[in-house]
Amino acid sequence: MLQARKMKILLPLLFFLGEAHSRAASRPNFVLLMADDLGIGDPGCYGNKTLRTPNIDALAHAGVKLTQHLAASPLCTPSRAAFMTGRYPIRSGMASQSRVGVFIFSASSGGLPTSETTFAKLLKKQGYSTALIGKWHLGMHCDDQRDFCHHPLSHGFDYFHGLPLTNLRDCKAGAGSVFTSAIRVLVLVPLQLTAVSLVTLAALKCLGLLQVPRLVFLCLLLLAAAVLGILLSFLHYFRPLNCFLMTNHSVTQQPMSYDNLTQRLTADAARFIRRNAETPFLLVLSYLQVHTALFSSKDFAKKSKHHAYGDAVEEMDWSVGQIMSVLEELGLANNTLVYFTSDQGAHVEEVTATGEIHGGSNGIYKGGKGNNWEGGIRVPGLLRWPGVIPAGLEIAEPTSNMDIFPTVVKLAGSPLPDDRIIDGRDLMPLLRGTSQRSDHEFLFHYCNFYLNAVRWAPRNSTSVWKAFFFTPKFSPEGANGCFPTQVCLCYGHFVTRHHPPLLFDLSKDPRERNPVTPTSEPRFREIVATMEEAATRHTQTVRDVPDQFSLGNILWKPWLQMCCPSSSGLSCQCDREKQDRQVSR
């Protein structure tokens, strides 16, 4: 009798314990850390000796370091779209056919379509608490200010705190502008032309050589004034209208302040973890660093060996350490998969007028952000999950930031969507060591909308072939980037086309210096043919979808502009983050 009663109590308890145990093993928490524009040559664990990143390095020591981890695109918006959906950005319409490859206005209508499924959406369905803290850059509204169709809260996150757009030079007073060359072409040149015409006409009139009606002068003057007016208001209002912080759907700081910004976002991420210590959670901490405008708080400013850039990296590394110690303190470390990466390679064109380097290092690799040389797409990739993923393992197989989608979704116990192509592959077999080869025999490298290169890791060899259909024209000639335009463009006369494709064996030539030729490689034609066939097969799976970068979708739409109401009328200024400013450290 007593025995039976004991059993009655014990059985459910045992069942509960077993359940809890298997839940812990099969439904870990996820902390996904994404840096902006950090190069693979920056973290110490990837070989940097002068930049101090002890916390990022600790992830590598306690987990797996991927050495051929590839961003699906060398540019922020498309790379992040691919990361969120596990699909090439072209499949969601997040790949631009023109010069503008990222969203530049908070009030434009392009963005990640709601028909796309993010890993956050699937995890939320599995009972996870989900948060995105930091940079989003995947759109906000479609038709009106209330729809928030592209906002993180419409994509499976139940908490958002951060920047809907991206950190830009224009967001920080005195840090310059990313629009300098565009302004020169679109505004200053027309302005000069108008001024020259005015002077010429006036001179001709004075000399009595030409009858010019007053109306013509008036029109030209008005035109010049209008162009100048638009330029000045653009520069004056760009910052408040595009650089603001939100919490959920509300604007909380406009324009955003850089004071202790990393500390504030880090503290908020830590609070999210604490609030959800008892439930499975997904935290995407998407750093504003190390995109320009560079910033760091007092504790980090002027402390590194690499100027403002190094300070920013070291502050971000500090933040990684803070997050890890919260996990440690709450006893969650063994039950949390931590991932650290960058959305693309370092922006090598970021050099100030005075010659200070504001872009990071891509190590031995050629190129950088905006192009598909290895420097643009080979990014840090670290995964840590003590007890499940081996510590200190290095994996050289090709992997993609799209792989996080199926990996996370499966671990959370959710089925993968079966109504669409998922391009990412589950990383767990590779990470656990149950598989030696990557599931990606082929990977496709897009420059925005355009298929730029194919990567092939044949199953039966150690070669990693990369065939370029075109390469960017670096400028000035001999440079390692496209300096006047700040990023390399992907089409027309901006690129050099290659027939047959320009072929490299990355396993022997990771710097992409010596193209393989039919003379140096007898199987050249066979290899190229196999890769071209794979590209054709892939292209046939890409469907026509609405273009999120159409002109209508990238322009500023006044009716979509978020502007926080303040006592002084419609000034688009407010600061509801003041109370958080004094961050306890």
From 48-56, 197-205, 275-283, 482-490, give the range in contact with ligand NAG by CB under 6 A: 48-56
Beta bridge partners of 393: 64
Q: Tell me, yes or no, if 563 is annotated catalytic.
A: no
Contact between 424 and ligand NAG by CB under 6 A: the answer reads no
- Chosen residue from 306, 384, 425, 445 binding ligand NAG by CB under 6 A: 306
- d(Cα 323, Cα 339) in Å, to the nearest integer? 12
Q: How far is the CB of 43 from ligand NAG (least distance, A)?
A: 9
How far is it, in rounded angstroms, from Cα 170 to Cα 10?
A: 64
Catalytically annotated residue among 45, 69, 137, 306: 137
Determine the 3-state secondary structure of 231 from DSSP.
Answer: helix
Q: Is 432 in the site for ligand NAG (CB under 6 A)?
A: no
**Closest distance of CB 250 from ligand NAG, Å:** 7
Question: What's the half-sphere exposure (Cβ side, CA atoms, 13 Å) at 24?
Answer: 17
300 binds ligand NAG (CB under 6 A): no
**Taking a C-beta distance cutoff of 8 angstroms, is the pair 135, 166 a contact?**
yes
* Identity of the residue, 200 or 250, whose beta carbon is nearer to ligand NAG in the bound complex: 250
Name which position in 18, 127, 229, 387 contacts ligand NAG (CB under 6 A).
387
Bridge-based pairing state of the strands 378-384 and 336-342: antiparallel
In the structure encoding, which two tokens stand for residue 363, read together? 């190590």
Pick out residues in 453-492 that bind ligand NAG (CB under 6 A): 458, 460-461
E strand or H helix at 35, and its extent? strand 29-35
Quick check: 579 binds ligand NAG (CB under 6 A)? no
Span 124-143, contacts to ligand NAG by CB under 6 A: none
What's the token pair of residue 332?
């969650």
For the chain, the residue count is 585
Q: Residues touching ligand NAG: how many (CB under 6 A)?
A: 30
Which CB, 180 or 582, lies closer to ligand NAG?
582
Cβ nearer to ligand NAG, comparing 101 with 310: 310
Site for ligand NAG in 342-371 (CB under 6 A): 360-361, 363
| Phi, psi dihedrals of residue 516, rounded to the nearest 5° | -80, 140
134, 152, 310, 406: which one binds ligand NAG (CB under 6 A):
310
Residue 324: which H helix or E strand, with range?
helix 307-329
The nearest distance, CB 334 to ligand NAG, in angstroms, is 4
Q: Kindly state whether residue 49 participates in binding ligand NAG, applying the rule CB under 6 A.
A: yes
CA-to-CA distance for 344 and 346, rounded, in angstroms?
7
Candidate residues 26, 50, 115, 192; the one interacting with ligand NAG per rule CB under 6 A: 50
Residue 386 binds ligand NAG, judged by CB under 6 A: yes
CA-to-CA dists, residue 404 to 80, 408, 569, 570, angstroms = 12, 6, 45, 42
Q: With binding defined as CB under 6 A, does residue 44 bind ligand NAG?
A: no
Comparing CA positions, the residue from 175, 147, 163 lying closest to residue 243 is 163
Say if residues 162 and 246 touch (Cβ distance below 8 Å). yes
Q: State both tokens at 234.
A: 């653009």
158, 439, 509, 521: which one contacts ligand NAG (CB under 6 A)? 158
Is residue 572 flagged as an active site residue?
no
Active site positions, annotated: 76, 137
